[in-house]
Amino acid sequence: MPDAPANNLDATQERASGYLKRFRGGVVPHLIAGQRTLSTSGATFDTIDPVTNDRQCAVASGDAADIDMACNAAAEAFKTWRNVSGAKRREILHAIADAIEARSDEIALVESSDTGQPIRYMAKAALRGAENFRFYADRAPGAADGQSLPDSDHINYTMRQPIGPIGVITPWNTPFMLSTWKIAPALAAGCTVVHKPAEWSPLSAVILTEIMDQVIQRHGGPAGVVNLVHGMGERAGKSLTEHPEIKAVAFVGETTTGSHIMRQGAATLKRVHFELGGKNPVIVFDDADQDRALDAVLFMIYSLNGERCTSSSRALVQEGIYRDFAAKAAKRVANLKVGHPLDPATEIGPLIHPRHAEKVLSYPGLAREAGATVAVGGERALGGKGNYVQPTLFTEARNDMRIAQEEIFGPVLTMIPFKDEADAVRISNDVRYGLTGYIWTRDVGRAHRIARDLDAGMIWVNSENVRHLPTPFGGVKQSGIGRDGGDYSFDFYMETKNIAIAYDGHKIPRIGL
């Protein structure tokens, strides 16, 4: 790994503008079959700098024709890639991880500039991307493994085979890390990929595809194993989900978009994997270690600008400690450092887009109208042209308010009092989402009971979200379909085949004698 570079705002800004020069100089292209190409239509769209809302760069805007070329390239490359040995894929995926690490400063600074996410988090997200590749590199040799299922007349055995070209569609919040989390297992399984990144933050995908394509071709793999097409969801994204060469769609984004994709993919019977929205509860009982609970509550909603699917956006605090807990939280929230995303001291950067900032800023009014208290924040921050929003805390909220039901996806926490265990479970489950739940208590039995009873795919007890890559990641209800992580990802990217071989002794029914 390279030495850690200088870390202050002037230094990071200077390095970032160096890295961004290539994107600002012309139109950011697609990568199809190893070739950088512009859209066949010539169309482009602009991205903006969340600090100023000035134009950041022009990006090729793909449509059905570009998607068609990319999907055909992925289908062609699949013929070769599926037969590359697991050992070779392991070597290639580790080489991709090496290349990500070598360019981690560039990836982090480009991602931070594109999304407004504070550099303190993006630096780790770039390295986590490399870790995802290493994790699946080591699993590639065993990806095809199956079971032996003998009966008296036959020996049955199963094997797994890659399903085919995959459409990967990702959101704007932490695009690099999320893309690697989809693409690494797909490649390890032997699948090829067409990636359509979010139109608000397309830049780190260019670096990732470039790295993967270079490494694969350097190791003798075909061009077209990974392809990148930029564009609008309703055009490029839609065409990708409808393309007959695409066998499965791995999607991370909003719940309503998931519904669209399911409809769009119906005609070609796409397999889908959805990681969607959340309105996750963190339940704090009066017997909890309240200092640790407070640290975790704040981290899980105010890190990553609150633009995080697993954020603890509803804090359910037991009545007896509610007032004290809310007061301590308010003090800390008011103290959060809002600033330039490239400043290593910044805890909250600008939100990605003026439209998103407006959406987030509509909730303080809704909170007041419904009778909740805006205890901290609720306004724009720092003045200027950027999308800075004050970290915001709503207290005295009820779960039927919109601030408790809707995913705000910003640095905004809704704090709700509860009476007892039953009340906490009822309130937690009374939303359409079910991604994660966080429980803070020292009562072991209660922790197990609530973990069992919460409608969520992932539960953490006395902890913030700490990922262990072999464990299943995903949601229930309207938070998603399917699981990522460990071997679970291979269930999605691969088909299981059964082979039955007779011992040549069983009686075969004879007809037509």
Site residues (vs ligand NAD, CB under 6 A)? 169-173, 178, 196-199, 233-234, 237-238, 241, 252-254, 257, 260-261, 264, 275-278, 309, 407, 409, 435, 475, 480
Nearer to ligand NAD (CB atom), residue 204 or residue 257: 257
380 burial (CB, 10 Å; 0-12 / 13-18 / 19+) is middle
Question: How many other C-beta atoms can be found within 10 angstroms of the C-beta atom of residue 321?
Answer: 18
Write down the least CB distance from residue 224 to ligand NAD, Å.
Answer: 21
Nearer to ligand NAD (CB atom), residue 326 or residue 360: 360
Give dist(CA 289, CA 442) in Å, integer: 8
Q: 449, 421 in Cβ contact below 8 A?
A: yes
Write down the least CB distance from residue 244 to ligand NAD, Å.
Answer: 16
Write down the least CB distance from residue 443 to ligand NAD, Å.
Answer: 29
Q: Specify the pairing of strand 44-48 against strand 55-60.
A: antiparallel
Nearer to ligand NAD (CB atom), residue 219 or residue 402: 402
Nearer to ligand NAD (CB atom), residue 107 or residue 276: 276
Write down the least CB distance from residue 178 to ligand NAD, Å.
Answer: 6
Catalytic residue among 76, 245, 275, 307: 275
Nearer to ligand NAD (CB atom), residue 250 or residue 401: 250
Give dist(CA 357, CA 361) in Å, integer: 6
Q: Specify the pairing of strand 480-481 against strand 55-60.
A: unpaired
Write down the least CB distance from residue 310 to ligand NAD, Å.
Answer: 7
Sole residue written with tokens 């793909």:
62
Q: Return the closest-CA partner of residue 380 out of 390, 366, 393, 365.
A: 390
Write down the least CB distance from residue 19 to ligand NAD, Å.
Answer: 22
Strand-pair partners of 272: 249
Does residue 10 sit in helix, strand or coil? helix
φ and ψ at residue 99, rounded to 5 degrees: -70, -35
Nearer to ligand NAD (CB atom), residue 418 or residue 433: 433
Nearer to ligand NAD (CB atom), residue 160 or residue 238: 238
DSSP state string for 451-498: HHHS--SEEEESS-----TTS-B--SGGGEES-BSTTHHHHHHEEEEE
Which H helix or E strand runs over 87? helix 86-102
Q: Between the CA of residue 346 and those of 255, 294, 356, 388, what are the distances in Å?
A: 30, 20, 20, 12
Per-residue tokens: 437:
């739940």
Per-residue tokens: 312:
């603890």
Write down the least CB distance from residue 189 to ligand NAD, Å.
Answer: 20
Nearer to ligand NAD (CB atom), residue 82 or residue 124: 124
Q: How many helices (H) and strands (E) does the chain have?
A: 17, 20
- Find how far residue 239's CA is from the centre of its chain: 21
Nearer to ligand NAD (CB atom), residue 146 or residue 354: 354
Write down the least CB distance from residue 106 to ligand NAD, Å.
Answer: 22
Write down the least CB distance from residue 256 to ligand NAD, Å.
Answer: 7
Q: Return the closest-CA partner of residue 56 out of 16, 10, 84, 7.
A: 16
Is 275 one of the catalytic residues? Answer: yes
Give dist(CA 334, CA 337) in Å, integer: 9
Which residue has its beta carbon closest to ligand NAD?
233
Give dist(CA 334, CA 378) in Å, integer: 11
Q: Specify the pairing of strand 412-418 against strand 314-318.
A: parallel
DSSP state string for 21-63: HHHHSSEEPEEETTEEE--TT--EEEEE-TTT--EEEEEE---
Nearer to ligand NAD (CB atom), residue 104 or residue 264: 264
The answer to whether the Cα torsion of 236, 239, 241, 245 is positive or negative is: negative
Q: Return the closest-CA partner of residue 189 out of 68, 275, 271.
A: 271
Write down the least CB distance from residue 79 to ligand NAD, Å.
Answer: 26
- Find how far residue 50's CA is from the centre of its chain: 20
* Residues classed as catalytic: 275
